[in-house]
Structure 1
Amino acid sequence: MNILHIDCSPRPESHSRQLSAGIVKKLLEIEPNARISRRDFAAAPLPHASSDYATTLSSPVTLAAPLKGALELSETLIQEVDAADVIVIGTPMNNLTVPSVLKAWIDQILRAGRTFKSTPTGKVGMLRDRPVFIGIAAGGVFTGERANQPDFLTPYLSAVLDCIGLKNLQFLSVQATAFLDQNQSILAREKALATLNLAAIGETPCL
């Protein structure tokens, strides 16, 4: 099993990092020899789209003849996704949605003609599906009867990952982190991890 493990929080001991690490630990319990590829967007943030990249993607003509080097980073990141049997993402909810470092990654892996094709009915993914586990930490509450803020993160990630063919998504969350003490944080994380459905990895054909 190849695991692509991505973290987005700038805080070294953040709730989302601990949650994503817990997910990876659970995966290693069932596949101890799994190989892990790491992307830490706080330690090594991706650049936002360059002018050469944006120009190359601007039309079918320029995409067919890309500017030299414009697609190198995009191709590297796409190949990392393609090589993974399982993807684990740890992310905070920043201002109701994904942090900009995760958006920078998304902007590089959604590429016309490479990871999706446009059709009259919308985008169709070109990558094979595989399990994606997404650990979310939010200072407020965005689900259930106690929800006090909207959620633009989970529908956004569901939509954009579906565009490239990743449909098997599982969201785990630790909410109200702004009001949790250390013991409550541990309990909340364990409760979130208890919802982890590892049966999903059995649907991955490469295992």
Structure 2
Amino acid sequence: MKRLAVYCGSATPEDPRYMALAAEVGAALAQRGIGVVYGGGRLGLMGALAKAALDAGGEVIGVIPKAMVSREIANYDCTELIVVRTMHERKARFTDMSDGFLTLPGGVGTMDELWEAASWAQLGYHAKPVGLLNAFGFFDGLIAFIHHMVQVGFIRPAHAGIVMAEGELDLLLTRMDAHEQHTPIFRMKPEGL
């Protein structure tokens, strides 16, 4: 994996562990020679991730919609900052520019990005690994819900492992690097990818 799209929150939680986690991930990816493609902002976990990756000599590509340049305070320190028109265009760029997807704690936007990466893998838009870093048990409820969707039959057994969840970054990256494509529902390609 040469580049990962990293999804995380633009908020700064009261618990300092989350900001520290984002910085640790940014530095660790840079040290492994893995570039970061992310939301292009300076705030919250996004900003901590990018700053740490850049400080460690890593490549950081920000992708931000024009309407969010001032709201998320665009990070012009990135190796490259790409301003797009829409959120859809942003997510398509994430998919096009990365070799996989790594999700850290975040809110609704982070979940949207995670679910789109997982859904597109299921449908065959891409064959890239989708990782979920379950630091501090943040995603325990989500992981349980994914298992519930499999048990009920809304996720096919062949797709139960699309979202790879681990509590430790090294283990998650090892699993993502060893990722083997599952059999998708369809073999599709979205326009522009």
Q: TM-score range by the shorter chain?
A: 0.3 to 0.5
Rg larger in structure: 1
Q: TM-score, normalised by structure 2?
A: 0.46
Q: TM-score, normalised by structure 1?
A: 0.44
Bigger relative contact order (CA 8 A; separation at least 6): 1
Please state which structure has a larger fraction of its residues in helix: 2
